[in-house]
Chains A and B, each alone.
Chain A
Amino acid sequence: AQSVTQLGSHVSVSEGALVLLRCNYSSSVPPYLFWYVQYPNQGLQLLLKYTTGATLVKGINGFEAEFKKSETSFHLTKPSAHMSDAAEYFCAVSGFSGGYNKLIFGAGTRLAVHP
């Protein structure tokens, strides 16, 4: 069965510092991988996705993630945090064993950005 683990339920960084949110997945076949962001009282917005091809994926708002098959990881990074990046971030996977019709989400990481 597929599962997603996000290390760190809360991450705090200073404005301008590097953002690193960790995600590891378990899957018997290469999955599709996603990062979503959720602002308070809102739904989820897609930041970026990996399906096939280049393993370094660039998304919106300056975020990027790298698919590392050997490490079964898909960590999200941003070189310089902005106050507006404060939100909840979810890593998600879809794939063969769970079907490509549904997403399996991690528990989320709440990112705080302080001045």
Chain B
Amino acid sequence: DAGVTQSPTHLIKTRGQQVTLRCSPKSGHDTVSWYQQALGQGPQFIFQYYEEEERQRGNFPDRFSGHQFPNYSSELNVNALLLGDSALYLCASSLGTVGRSPLHFGNGTRLTVT
């Protein structure tokens, strides 16, 4: 049973560029959440997608956007990259709300902005 898979594993971009990160949820899961983990910090919630719509959003600017596809996979897009966007981006999937079904995390995409 494949868990949560993310691609790419590492990415280097220049300030001002745009980036797209991809995530395939664990089999049977219908909800995808994205988190940003800066070095030495805990993950911070970016947003969550369910039924192809953004269900909840954290305190991130509009430069961060996402999408969920009919097969439940998801993309995270970040425009106009800043140095401060350098972080590990984690995708997590679940079935329904967090309390009913715990989050299963992928190994993340390490984004470096130079």
Contacts and interface: CB of A to CB of B under 8 A. Distances in A.
Interface string B35-63: 10000111111001000000110100000
Given A43-B90, A44-B90, A102 B105 contact: no
B56 A101 contact: yes
B102 A100 contact: no
A49 B104 CA distance: 13
B106 A105 contact: no
Contacts of A108: 40-42
Interface string A31-43: 0101010000111
Contacts of B41: 107-108
A80 interface: no
Interface in A28-82: 32, 34, 36, 41-46, 49, 51
A24 interface: no
Contacts of B31: 101
Contacts of A104: 45
Contacts of A4: 42
Contacts of B48: 101-102
B56 A99 contact: yes
Contact of B42 (A94, A99, A100, A105): A105
Nearest to A50: B99
A103 B46 CA distance: 10
Contacts of B56: 99, 101-102
A43 B42 contact: no
Interface in B67-110: 90, 92, 97-99, 102-108
Given A41-B107, A46-B103, A102 B43 contact: no
Interface of A: 4, 32, 34, 36, 41-46, 49, 51, 90, 92, 94, 99-108
